[in-house]
Structure 1
């Protein structure tokens, strides 16, 4: 399948696995890459030495391209960048910060840089910073999200109208049908997160994976915008957050309530009551846990079938 993203990354399919904290280690990244997509190691939940280990294990498990997601809010980001360069990682997805800060430095070392945004404004800033591609992530997505609450179907055509570099759509995409819809709207590829959380290779706790599978329509909510917008499954911790808002909590109050390692507690350790359970709205459509390679095959097969019959099957 030839397009701008496949050529840029050297991959078979324009399908990227999102770099998700606590869920996307080397096992998931290598499995997706081996299946023809682009796997991503989510470094935001890793100490520097842990990241190095995951990169080395990923290199041993696949001879295909893979990437590292680099949240720029990470306190030891310079250590992470040095490790990425030393280990010869060729593709980096940056997020949660200003792309100007590190793009030129990474590109100087021959690294392809992609930045994640949630608005046209920041897509243009990323392009001006020199990134090679942009991920435009809609309101439906889990994890850290934008404050604008622009849905993917609105965001992608608006960004496409202004952007020259390749565009990757993210947020609410888990099937081949949704992949085709995003690409008809102007995306060159799609990034899939929540569907890969519910994979056998995901490093998320089985309690969390099972809760994602059980989640129905309307069971997630985008909140904590004062800190970093995140979409959560409704549980006791979410109820505590809503109660804090009802009582006019300050930013410091919210920070105290969130505490440290709340996401780890929920997604990696499996505490479904007190943990932060980050997932996208598309969780309501996910009803099983399967190998990552099967997920890739399922998405691409449906995409190819529908594309081959486009537009007869949709008119």
Structure 2
């Protein structure tokens, strides 16, 4: 399968394993890359030297391309970027910030830069900043999300209409059928997160993985828009957030409730009561935990079968 995305990243299939906090360590990223897709380390949950260790372990575990996802809202971004360059990583996905801040700096050092957006407006800004490709993420996605709640089905063709650079679809994608649908709508590839949370190689806690595969339609909700929109499993922490809203909470009160390390507590340490449990709506379609290689094989097989079926219509 050869297209703009496979050629851009030198991978077999136009699929990116999303760089998710507390889920995307070196085991997941290297397994993804070894399966023919692009694996990403999630720098958002790593101190700089922890990231360096994960990069070094990933390089030992795969000879295939892999990258790092860097949310730009953290204060130590310069140190993170320096480590990425020092360790020779050649692909960076940036998010949660202005793409102009780092795109040229990274490209001047031989790095391919992709920026994650949730709207046409920001897709155009990213293209203007000179990024090599864009991830357009619909509001079905887990993790930090767009405030406008534009779905992937609507977002992808609207972004495709406005940009000329390679486009990667994200949000609500876990199957080969969804991958084909996104590519029919104009995407050149897809980024998948939630499906890889429920993998053997994910660094998520086993209890969180179980919650993901037990999730049903309606078990997640987008919230905390005043801080950074995030889609959460409805647990006690989520209910506490909603109670604060009912009481007319200020941003400071929301920040106080969120505190520090809620996501780590939930997804990495397995506190299903007080932890922040981030996952996409597509969790309702995820029913098992599998090795990454099997997940990729299943997606590609279903993609090819669906493509054949569509051609016969």
Q: Same fold (TM over 0.5)?
A: yes
d(CA) in 1 for partners of 2:121, 2:102 = 19
Partner of 2:109 in structure 1? 109
Deviation at 1:310, TM superposition (A): 2.5
**Which residues of 2 match residues 96-175 of structure 1 at below 5 A?**
96-175=96-175
2:239 paired with 1:248? no
d(CA) in 2 for partners of 1:80, 1:95 = 14
d(CA) in 1 for partners of 2:237, 2:309 = 46
**Which residues of 2 match residues 177-256 of structure 1 at below 5 A?**
177-256=177-256
Paired residue total:
313
Partner of 2:62 in structure 1? 62
Secondary structure class of the residue paired with 2:141: coil
- Residues 88-110 of structure 1: CA distance to partner in whole angstroms, max 9, x if unpaired? 00100000000000000000000
Secondary structure class of the residue paired with 2:311: coil
- Residues 133-167 of structure 1: CA distance to partner in whole angstroms, max 9, x if unpaired? 00000010000001010000000000000011000
- Residues 203-259 of structure 1: CA distance to partner in whole angstroms, max 9, x if unpaired? 000010000000000000000000000000000000000000000000000000000
**Which residues of 2 match residues 271-286 of structure 1 at below 5 A?**
271-286=271-286
d(CA) in 2 for partners of 1:75, 1:274 = 26
Secondary structure class of the residue paired with 1:311: helix
Deviation at 1:309, TM superposition (A): 3.4
Partner of 2:3 in structure 1? 3
Partner of 1:304 in structure 2? 304
d(CA) in 2 for partners of 1:172, 1:13 = 19
d(CA) in 2 for partners of 1:67, 1:222 = 27
- Residues 26-77 of structure 1: CA distance to partner in whole angstroms, max 9, x if unpaired? 0000001000000000000000110000000000000000010000012110
d(CA) in 2 for partners of 1:57, 1:95 = 24
Partner of 1:33 in structure 2? 33
Q: CA RMSD in A?
A: 0.6
d(CA) in 2 for partners of 1:75, 1:310 = 48
- Structure 2, unaligned stretches of length 5 or more? none
2:94 paired with 1:94? yes
TM-score by length of structure 2 reads 0.99
d(CA) in 2 for partners of 1:132, 1:195 = 25
Secondary structure class of the residue paired with 2:271: coil
Secondary structure class of the residue paired with 1:94: strand
d(CA) in 1 for partners of 2:41, 2:264 = 16
